[in-house]
Structure 1
Amino acid sequence: MIRLTKVELHRLIARRLTVIGLVGLFLLTVLLLTATWFNARPQSPTEQEQARQQYELAHKDWVEHGDDMRKQCAEDWKTQPDPKPSLEDMCSYPEPRLEDFGKPRTVFAQIMPEHFQGTSYFLAFAAFLIGASFVGAEFSSGAIGNWLTFEPRRLRVYGSKLSAAALAFLPIAAVILAILLLGTFLIVKHLGDASTTAKVWGHLVATGGRAAVTTALAAALGGVVGLLLRHTAAAIGVVMGYLVLVEGVFAAFLDKAQPWLVKVNFDAFVLHGTRYYVNDCKTGSDGSYTCDYVQRSLSFEHGAWYLAILTAVVVAAGGWVFYRRDINS
């Protein structure tokens, strides 16, 4: 099994699509770092002067009319229907601060989880595409039949192909995410606020590790789908159809089903918990019908179990089909 996996690893790395995919991932990383640099740049002297002038006008208005606005707000608060917010929440007029005007400084600890989340999508898609092509091409070309004459034990062949796809993308994802992490830190350190703690670094490294794991899982699942459909284009079509119809259209109409969709569980695993919104509609005693967006949470444990069970079921189904199905059918 180990020797078979090594052979499959060499074959996967030597494929042209793998090289193209790696170059594409590197270019996307460079583009993301470039965008981070542009977003983190401070304002020009002219823009800073305009922000200072806006602050001075707002502060002058707060000094001259702040008490009057609070008194008027207190009167309006008395006429608010129940349930109404507290007086402090509704009538809070804090003193304007200069840092509240103009472009806020880029904070490393705030933007890095978002960078990891977005990059994890690209990594998973690229891994799925390459994994599907790696396995599907052998079926479309008929090479899998020749391979089975050398190694007739199908489940060993199946396991070696999926293992090679997953193992190949673990270090690839780790390198891409490390470049993104360190590159973003250096950019923000020069242009923004890169102050952080050991705890934050620990969270970021753990997030990157989980993103690397999802990349490996996506590569393996791509191999299974490529095996089942026997064509790379068909595998891509199935995934795009799922994303558009299920994650897009279906989720928009049945938003309470979101805890059972792949994307939300993917985010819950990578980000160690995530939030989503559902439309909560109620009919009042007066017959009125109102809807509010309510925030819900999905735990890391839910996302981890979801992805683990999904992967196990798909891999088992692919193994059963590969073991039972005629290669030439």
Structure 2
Amino acid sequence: MNLFRAEMRRLTKRRVIRFFVFGTLALLAAIVVGMFATHQPSTPSVRAAAQAEADRDYRLAVESLAEEMRACETARGTAQAANYPPDCDPGYRPSKADYQAEYYMPPTFVFREQFGLMIVTLAALLAVMAYLVGASYVGAEWSSGAMMNLLLWRPQRLRVLSTKLGALTAGLTALTVLVSAAWTGLFALVADLRGTMDAMTSGAWQSFVLMEVRGLVLVLVAGAVGFGLASIGRHTAMALGTAIGAIIVFQFGLGTLLSLAQVHFVEAYLVPVWATAWMDKSITVTDWQPCDSVINPGCQAGTLTLTWPMAGGVLAALVILVVGVAMWTMRSRDVT
């Protein structure tokens, strides 16, 4: 039997992987339903209701101010006068400009403005799922002894491991492409029914497609890293422990330590910033360390722009390092 086809079957038949996939799809579906339920189109009836609510609040504010001023006038010359401003001047009077219908309108899903955030949400959730899938896929092979049995009739170690990684990559690619297409279609439907698709030019569509491609790359990187770490430790717990350690030590601990050491551009050392730079094409990190409001009130904070090619280099280096070590250990260590 073809090794790649066999690995694809193992990948799709494993129950824990199905659990991760279906759980992620359920969460994504809940997000779509939530966005649909909490947004409304800007129809004339909705605008009229918002205007009526704005006018009602304006009248209530005017009546409340008038009542407050009458109470102030009544309190003149009494001990209660200290509770009111001098000359009964409130200092602020309600204005129609403060009660516009736009302030009372329910949220409307504007596809061009809001779908980018939805792509980032999709990429983040799929990346977490891919990390868990990649780790459990090869980790279970090691812990159950299936890897040793497989190598009895397929003794080419690197070929076996690389085929497993190829099957994982192919599966994640197919899943991400299908889910991304469905995600785009569903939110286009949400915008059509609960918002607007206005201003969606060919350039805007191209930008969203490229963003989804970068999301696909992020998913593949997460899956490969989870796969590599679990293969190095020969157990799923290795990848999960590394992830927990990275969050606790490198995000919270390292961030706090660098801040105490007054290191410049602390955020540039944290993983979420690089992931954001990759998905949003760039991010500007601000360094407030040189500025002290007492010592140097006129200081201008320094800025550092991280671009998507820089973030891509970091992601590539991470994959090469982890997968390279996994391949090296597969070749050099005994399979026991």
Q: TM-score, normalised by structure 1?
A: 0.78
Contact 1:135–1:223 (CA under 8 A) maintained in structure 2: yes
Q: Report the secondary structure of 2:291's partner residue.
A: strand
- Structure 2 regions of 5+ residues with no counterpart? 62-96, 260-264
Q: 1:293 to 1:125 in 2, by over 3 A?
A: farther
Aligned ranges for residues 1-329 of structure 1 at < 5 Å?
A: 3-41=2-40, 47-53=50-56, 98=100, 100-103=102-105, 104-195=107-198, 196-254=200-258, 256-283=265-292, 287=295, 296-328=304-336
- Looking at structure 1, the residues matched to 142 and 300 of structure 2 have their Cα atoms a distance apart, in angstroms, of 51
Q: Which residue of 2 aligns with 1:78?
A: none
Measure how far apart 1:224 and its partner are.
0.8
- Structure 1 regions of 5+ residues with no counterpart? 59-94
Cα deviation code 1:155-179 (max 9, x no counterpart): 1111111111111101101111222
Measure how far apart 1:282 and its partner are.
2.2
Cα deviation code 1:260-299 (max 9, x no counterpart): 4332222222222234444344246x64679997664310
Cα deviation code 1:164-223 (max 9, x no counterpart): 111110110111122211111111121212211111111111111111122122112111
Contact 2:285–2:305 (CA under 8 A) maintained in structure 1: yes
Q: Which residue of 1 aligns with 2:94?
A: none
Q: Report the secondary structure of 1:297's partner residue.
A: strand
Q: 1:55 to 1:180 in 2, by over 3 A?
A: farther
Percent identity, please: 26
- Looking at structure 2, the residues matched to 159 and 230 of structure 1 have their Cα atoms a distance apart, in angstroms, of 15
Q: 1:120 to 1:146 in 2, by over 3 A?
A: same
Measure how far apart 1:16 and its partner are.
0.6
- Looking at structure 2, the residues matched to 292 and 228 of structure 1 have their Cα atoms a distance apart, in angstroms, of 46
Q: 1:260 to 1:178 in 2, by over 3 A?
A: same
Contact 2:143–2:234 (CA under 8 A) maintained in structure 1: yes
Contact 2:232–2:325 (CA under 8 A) maintained in structure 1: no
Cα deviation code 1:12-63 (max 9, x no counterpart): 01111121122112111111101211231256975552235567999xxxxx
Q: 1:108 to 1:241 in 2, by over 3 A?
A: same
- Looking at structure 2, the residues matched to 25 and 137 of structure 1 have their Cα atoms a distance apart, in angstroms, of 20
Quick check: 259-268 or 27-36, which moved more? Answer: 259-268
- Looking at structure 2, the residues matched to 116 and 249 of structure 1 have their Cα atoms a distance apart, in angstroms, of 29
- Looking at structure 2, the residues matched to 52 and 294 of structure 1 have their Cα atoms a distance apart, in angstroms, of 46
Q: 1:283 to 1:258 in 2, by over 3 A?
A: closer
Q: Report the secondary structure of 1:327's partner residue.
A: coil
Contact 2:133–2:223 (CA under 8 A) maintained in structure 1: yes
Contact 2:110–2:196 (CA under 8 A) maintained in structure 1: yes
Give 1 or 2 for the bigger CA radius of gyration: 2
- Looking at structure 2, the residues matched to 184 and 292 of structure 1 have their Cα atoms a distance apart, in angstroms, of 41
Q: Report the secondary structure of 1:254's partner residue.
A: helix
Contact 2:286–2:303 (CA under 8 A) maintained in structure 1: yes
Measure how far apart 1:9 and its partner are.
1.3
Q: What value does the CA root-mean-square deviation take over the aligned residues?
A: 2.9
Structure 1 letter corresponding to 2:22: V
Q: Report the secondary structure of 1:282's partner residue.
A: coil
- Looking at structure 1, the residues matched to 269 and 205 of structure 2 have their Cα atoms a distance apart, in angstroms, of 31
Q: Report the secondary structure of 1:227's partner residue.
A: helix
- Looking at structure 1, the residues matched to 235 and 299 of structure 2 have their Cα atoms a distance apart, in angstroms, of 45
Structure 2 letter corresponding to 1:318: A
- Looking at structure 2, the residues matched to 49 and 281 of structure 1 have their Cα atoms a distance apart, in angstroms, of 51
Structure 1 letter corresponding to 2:328: W
